[in-house]
Structure 1
């Protein structure tokens, strides 16, 4: 049984990729994955292509098709989660800066 691991997030720092670039890249990647999800959804198995084969062929094809879509969905959700975590870090830093500016 595979173990689900927590997402390894990058360290947001001055010499690294900006939070805005990370968020934008992940959102664009997610849009591409969602386009792939749409394409996969449209090419599901049609029963007429499987009835000449042995019993259960269409069910297996359908199960495999659904598994492919679910994998893409998981990737889409992971990319969104990463973007949201970086946005939360960015928001927290902005709050901290405003609080420090108010204390000065």
Structure 2
């Protein structure tokens, strides 16, 4: 058994401090401004989310492709039902865009 096993293996630096890093050295530089997530645009938010968790982005892309393939299959098997779903989808998107537009202009 070695008596030095419990001791620190870091060598002291020339200035007399231990080898442990100063927490202020690892902080972000002071010239970098903090950015609020709410200030980012939608593409910027998507980029930040993809950088923070790329696996989730890949899974969402695969699920979207899977759902789109079912949508195409629906159109091929039942064209009238596919057309109806597409028309309803367009109406829903237009209503949501109208609400978004009105809320944006009412609050400004």
| TM-score between the two structures when normalised by the length of structure 2 | 0.33
Higher relative contact order (CA 8 A, sep 6+): 1
Which structure: larger Rg? Answer: 2
| TM-score between the two structures when normalised by the length of structure 1 | 0.34
